Chain A
Amino acid sequence: MIKYLIRRIIMLIPVMIGVSLVTFSLIYIVPGDAVEVIVGERASEEIREKAIEELGLNKPFHQQYLSYMSNVLKGNLGKSYINNKSIKESIMERFPITFKLTLYSFAISVIVGIFVGVVSAVKQNTVIDSIVRGTTLLGVSTPVMFSSLLIIYIFGVWLKVMPVSGIGDGSIKYFLLPSLVLGLNSAVFTARLTRSCMLEVIRQDYIRTARSKGIAEKIVIFKHAMRNAMIPISTNLIMSFGYLLTGSVITETIFGLPGLGSETVRAVFQRDIPAVMGYFLFQAVIFVTFNLLVDISYALINPRIRFN
């Protein structure tokens, strides 16, 4: 297992180099001069050239890339072109907000998703099951911006019991609505997955054996079936955490939460190149880490993978 782990982690190195190269190239071809962002459109030729010289933007691609990456390895992600703030600091300031949002959403997704999924599987082919299948598919088809805006309208115009925008003092009530939207959005996927995993398990012979031994249905479901169905479900949940962590761009933007997602959008639109670069690398590292966690959990469950 340790051998497998080490091999997987070593394999990440070329992937991360590839990720940084792709991001750097994408930014390299961004239309509109990077210098204009810093010195303004009406700056004189002299100032422009001085800025280009200082930033090393006149150097060839590979030199720019190498000098950037050597800084990154030293833990220096550079400074924003717009507000001169350290990128590392911005990440440390904003990532906790995204993390909180993800954590609350994840909790909602797990609790609601698994409960609904199990109920639907146990009551297969009943009215409850059809209602669950219909609603979850409708949920899967609803874009998160639409549900966000509907929730904002409902709570802002009719109920008026909760803040619908911004972070205020950072207390939990500012996170409730965005977490609800993001959590339910993810819960419908969890519910569908739980349902099909449970049905897969319920069909197995050992469940029939357990039932024929006269064990109470509740125990069969929760002790025998749930335990085995949880294996594929939990691997998928790890992945969904990774998705939530990097996928809250729209929710953060709509609810005005100053997390990493909305900050990335800001940086992208203002062509704040060092910021874009830093945020992308950071989020790719997170995403890759969760991919790795999923693979490890697979390997723990299924020893055959380790020797492949």
Chain B
Amino acid sequence: MDAEAAKLLGAGLAALGAGLASLGVGNVFAKFLEGALRNPGAADGQQGRLFIGFAAAELLGLLSFVVAMILIFVA
């Protein structure tokens, strides 16, 4: 296998990370909604924490996009 093909394969494999991060982001919002429906009064006060959790989960998916971009354009 030549180096160019290996790079593109690696970039494609890195895209798996984006799908896995979607599980994480979905989980954050699902659990928030679950909790919010049980106690709607407390839900509004926790929106900041919701977005912090969302940001942390999303960052790891975005990192896989960065890895793919580096493999295609930089490496």
The reply to whether chain A is a binding partner of chain B is no
> A: which residues have CB within 8 A of B?
none
- Tell me the B residues contacting A by CB distance below 8 Å: none
